[in-house]
A = this chain, B = another copy of it.
Amino acid sequence: MAGSTYGNRFKIMTWGESHGEALGVVVDGCPAGLELCEEDIQKLLDRRKPGQSKFTTPRKEADKVKILSGVFEGKTTGTPISMVVFNTNQRSGDYSEIAGYYRPGHADYTFDAKYGFRDYRGGGRSSARETIGRVAAGAIALKILESLGITLHAYAKEIGGIAIDYEKFDLQAARENAFTMPDKEAAAKVEAYATQKIQEGDSIGGIIECVVEGMMPGIGEPVFDKLDASLGKAMLSIGAVKGFEIGSGFEAAKMTGSENNDSFVMKDGKLTKKTNHAGGVLGGMSDGSNIVFRAAVKPTPSISAVQDTVNKDGENIEISIKGRHDPMIVPRAVVVVEAMTALTLVDLIFENMTARLDGICAFYNRSK
């Protein structure tokens, strides 16, 4: 286990602290023959970069990725791909104060409880910068999905309680506004609300939705490694995510069977479903419909408003957290959701290749 390794077939190990020398990831199990260059990775990393609007931390990080192994003459070789982003803008001074107390909503206390001490600079390993490795590896997974005809996109479905209106759904808008909301009007309302909360020294949460298109049926393992269970773990492994649901999710708990069941129907000679309450997964395996799921993201725990807490000497104190923080996590987490989704899907798609003996025989006969 050990915690910083993800995936069984397309396996990654991420590393790095917020204010250490660098952060990165190694990918073990990427197939040979994928065209890959640093720009492929950088594109995705740039989407998680801070400092892109006043609603994200003003901290500037170049976050330039370097590929150190596993690629030769523009193609992956099948050997581990090591990627690194060197830290260039650490201001440890900003954070020295937090060494002495436990910030509410943060992992300061639990790190100390588990390990005896912690790298307190910028949250150390529990910083959002930890996701750099995930996103870099996810960029590779996304390229593999693409070569299989699978695409996916995540966006903010709701921020600060303000939800998008699906009647006005506009995916392009999600790529253009600071909140990744596919509804300009909702985004405008969020802007007003967020501006107010920033002034109050407070922060807000939201819900990210992700849709996968072009998925073949049968992906996911029927018992413990269900597709939805795996996606759930992937999402909940992202700091600040407190809930996950697929398809109708928590709404399904209030429905009757006759409402919630998706009838199968033949359409143009193809088996399909009339509705998609299931969110594209039946019995833990993809059913060929779009996969649709949501992750609930808590408000940023770092707020400048005064809070009660405890210091390392066991005294009750009051604090006000300084430094450069995102007033909301959702916009920058959207790309992490996409990365983790891609990593999970690739792993299960690879796993599925040995589900049937005829498929295995055909595979090896073909290569004869």
Contacts and interface: CB of A to CB of B under 8 A. Distances in A.
A192 interface: no
B299 A3 contact: no
Q: Which 4 A-B pairs have the closest CB atoms?
A: A107-B283, A3-B221, A243-B245, A114-B218
Copies in the complex: 4
Interface stretch (A11-19, A42-50, A57-65, A166-174): A11-19
7 contacts: A32-B355, A33-B357, A72-B121, A77-B124, A111-B285, A126-B222, A265-B316
B72 A253 contact: no
Contacts of A84: 68, 84
Interface in A249-285: 249-250, 252-266, 269, 271, 274, 278-279, 282-285
A288 B221 CA distance: 33
Contacts of A28: 2-5, 13, 15
A105 to B, nearest CB: 4
Nearest to A273: B104
A338 interface: no
A331 interface: no
A59 to B, nearest CB: 18
Interface string A1-38: 11111101111011111001111101011011110000
A1 B303 CA distance: 41
Main secondary structure of the interface of A (DSSP, over half): mixed
A236 interface: yes
Given A224-B4, A264-B308, A269 B314 contact: yes
Interface string A327-368: 000000000000000000001111111111111111110111
A100 interface: no
A21 B350 CA distance: 29
Nearest to A300: B257
A144 interface: yes
A105 B282 CA distance: 7
A82 interface: yes
A217 to B, nearest CB: 4
A367 to B, nearest CB: 7
Contact of A221 (B2, B284, B303): B2
Contacts of A237: 223-226, 229, 284
A283 B353 contact: no
A78 B115 contact: yes
A363 B352 CA distance: 11
Interface in A229-246: 229-230, 232-237, 239, 242-246
A183 interface: no
